[in-house]
C-alpha cells in the first residue's frame, strides 16, 4: 500500500537554490534530511503522507486529533470494531528522531493492520522532530500525549475512543527512535500518575540506542544499499538529536553507559523487545535486554531471523511479510497476558 512517489524534476534545482541561500550543508542523510549552516532543514518527501482513512476491509476507524496546538503535536487514532474493551497502545514512529510522520503511508498501513490483528486501540503520536527540536522534546511530547489522554478520559468528552478501550491496560510502543521514546517516556512517567490510565508495559521494536564503543553487529553487519539504517546514518541522527555537545554515551542514547542511572533504580515497565537479526542494532538491543534482566526487570525478547531494521514498516519482501505477522502475534500475546 506504500504509494510510489514521482520525483519532481525541479527538485534538484530547488535544492541548488537552497544551498546558495542557506550556505553549505553541514549534515546530510541522502534522500532523507539535509541541514544547512544557517539551521535551515530540508526533508524530501520520500514517503507519501496519507489522511486518516483505511479500506473498509481493515475494520478500523481512524481519526486525527490535535494534542497541543502550541507545539503542533497531534495523534492518529486507530479504533478497531470490537464487542469488548481493547488494550490501549500509545505508539511512536521511527526516523532517528529527525524524520518520519504518523501520516507516513508505511506507518498508516502497519498500525491499521496491528490494531485489527492484535485487537488493540492505537494512538500514534506525531511528535516534534530534531534538529529543530532536539531531545528531550520528543520525550516531553510523549509524556504530554499520555497526560492529555488521561484528561480526555477523565472529562468523558472523548467517548468515541475512551469507552472502547481498557484504560487499565495501557502500553507504550514504538519502533527504532520511537522505541527509544517509548522507553524514556515510561521512565519519565514513573513520577507521574496518569490514572485512570494504568501503564502495563512497553513494546520496543528495534529500539534505537547507541554508544561510543561499537558493538560487533555495528562493525560487522553487512547492509544492503537500501538498508533502513547504516552506521553513518545512525551517527548523523545522534549528532542532530542529542543536546549540543553530547556524545553517544549520553544516557538518552546509551542507557547502559557510565553516565546513566542505575537500571535497578529506574522504573521500567515489563518490556517486550523485538530484535532483527540483520540489524546493526541487534547486539545493542540484546545487551539492553541483558541489562534489564540483571537489574531484576521483567523483559522478554524475540529475534526475527533474516530481516533487517524496521522490516515491518519498510520492507515488502515475503520474509518480511511473514516476520511481520509473527511480530503482530507476539505483540497480541504480550498485551493480552
Residues assigned a catalytic role: 176
φ and ψ at 246, to 5 degrees? Answer: -80, 150
Identify the three-state secondary structure at position 160.
helix
**Per the structure block, which three cell numbers stand in for 291?**
541489562
DSSP 265: G
What string of DSSP letters covers 10-44? THHHHHHHHHHHH--EEEEETTTEEEETTS-EE--
Helices (H), ranges, 60-203: 105-118, 137-155, 159-162, 177-188
C-beta neighbour count of 210 within 10 angstroms: 26
Q: Please report which helix (H) or strand (E) contains residue 270, including its range.
A: none
With contact defined as beta carbons under 8 Å apart, do 309 and 94 qualify?
A: no
Helices (H), ranges, 46-136: 105-118
**Cα distances (Å, whole numbers) of residue 4 to 31, 32, 150, 279:** 15, 16, 38, 25
**Per the structure block, which three cell numbers stand in for 182?**
517509548
**First-to-last CA distance in the chain?**
31
Residues with Cβ within 8 Å of residue 37, at least 6 apart in sequence: 22, 23, 24, 25, 26
Residues with Cβ within 8 Å of residue 124, at least 6 apart in sequence: 75, 76, 77, 78, 91, 92, 93, 102, 107, 111
Residues with Cβ within 8 Å of residue 318, at least 6 apart in sequence: none
Amino acid at each position: 500500500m506504500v504509494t510510489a512517489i514521482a520525483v519532481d524534476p525541479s527538485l534538484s534545482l530547488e535544492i541548488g537554490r537552497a544551498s546558495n541561500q542557506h550556505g553549505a550543508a553541514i549534515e546530510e542523510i541522502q534522500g532523507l534530511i539535509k541541514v544547512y549552516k544557517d539551521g535551515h532543514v530540508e526533508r524530501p518527501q520520500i514517503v507519501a503522507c496519507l489522511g486518516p482513512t483505511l479500506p473498509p476491509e481493515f475494520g478500523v476507524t481512524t481519526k486525527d486529533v490535535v494534542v497541543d496546538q502550541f507545539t503542533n503535536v497531534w495523534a492518529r487514532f486507530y479504533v478497531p470494531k470490537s464487542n469488548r474493551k481493547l488494550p490501549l497502545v500509545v505508539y511512536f514512529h521511527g526516523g532517528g528522531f529527525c524524520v518520519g510522520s504518523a501520516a507516513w503511508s508505511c506507518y498508516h498501513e502497519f498500525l491499521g493492520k496491528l490494531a485489527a490483528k492484535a485487537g488493540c486501540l492505537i494512538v500514534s503520536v506525531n511528535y516534534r522532530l530534531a534538529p529543530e527540536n532536539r531531545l528531550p522534546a520528543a520525550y516531553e511530547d510523549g509524556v504530554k500525549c499520555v497526560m492529555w489522554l488521561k484528561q480526555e478520559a477523565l472529562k468523558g468528552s472523548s467517548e468515541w475512543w475512551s469507552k472502547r478501550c481498557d484504560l487499565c491496560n495501557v502500553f507504550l510502543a514504538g519502533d527504532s527512535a520511537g522505541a527509544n521514546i517509548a522507553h524514556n517516556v515510561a521512565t519519565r512517567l514513573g513520577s507521574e500518575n496518569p490514572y485512570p490510565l494504568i501503564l502495563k508495559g512497553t513494546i520496543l521494536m528495534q529500539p534505537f540506542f547507541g554508544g561510543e564503543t561499537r558493538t560487533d553487529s555495528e562493525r560487522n553487519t553487512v547492509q544492503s544499499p537500501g538498508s533502513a539504517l547504516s552506521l553513518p546514518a545512525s551517527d548523523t541522527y545522534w549528532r542532530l538529536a542529542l543536546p549540543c555537545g553530547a556524545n553517544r554515551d549520553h544516557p538518552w542514547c546509551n542507557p547502559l553507559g557510565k553516565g546513566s542511572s542505575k537500571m535497578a533504580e529506574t522504573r521500567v515497565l515489563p518490556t517486550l523487545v523485538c530484535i532483527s537479526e540483520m540489524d546493526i542494532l541487534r547486539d545493542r538491543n540484546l545487551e539492553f535486554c541483558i541489562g534489564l534482566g540483571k537489574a531484576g526487570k521483567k523483559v522478554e525478547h524475540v529475534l526475527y531471523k533474516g530481516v533487517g531494521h524496521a522490516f515491518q514498516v519498510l520492507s515488502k519482501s515475503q520474509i518480511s511479510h511473514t516476520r511481520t505477522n509473527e511480530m503482530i502475534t507476539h505483540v497480541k500475546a504480550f498485551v493480552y497476558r
